[in-house]
Amino acid sequence: MRIITLFILAFSFSTANAQIDTVNLKSLTQEFVDAFVGQDFEKLANMTHPNMIKMSGNLDFVKSDYEADYKVLQNMGFKFISGTVGSPGEIYQSGAEYLCFIPQRFTVELNGQKYISEIPVLATTMTNGKVWNFVTLDRQDQASISTFVPSYEERMGWPELTNMEAIDN
């Protein structure tokens, strides 16, 4: 009986994972990346996890925060050239929410040198993958993320942050 129960549980989990459209996940993550590169701060704010918006006060504050961050980077000399999305990691279910880490890869220019900068994003959905919301993890860590996304669980691990790498111009 225990083996049957374990099989049913394993099948249920894999079936839940199979229902998530990773093509849509990757496409929406690319929209999020494109919004950052294209400085569409309103779109970025609208795609942000609802708890981040709620805890920040409102959508306008989140939009202003993205804009301020971008301007700080510009003032430091960073120019965002393009952005791509890597392959989604494992999709975890926590209650009614699905969560997944995805790498964002930005090509940036600084002082005439091009670099690749990889910043992970946490994608979440409560609509079985139809709509995804995002939290960029450059200002979050494993200890603080559950404040903003209570469904995050330690079993999901944490993506490694990497340094920018110089590339040929």
Domains delineated in the chain: 21-167 (3.10.450)
Token pair belonging to 98:
């699905």
Q: Is 86 helix (H, G, I), strand (E, B) or coil?
A: coil
Q: What is the mean pLDDT of the chain?
A: 90
CA distance 23 to 87: 10
Alpha carbons 168 and 47: distance in angstroms, whole number: 33
What is the tens place of the pLDDT at every residue in 29-61?
A: 999 999 999 999 999 999 999 999 999 999 999
What's the pTM? 0.86
For the cut 70, the answer to whether the pLDDT of residue 151 exceeds it is: yes
Q: Is the pLDDT of residue 138 over 80?
A: yes
Least Cα distance to 98 among 132, 145, 144 occurs for 132
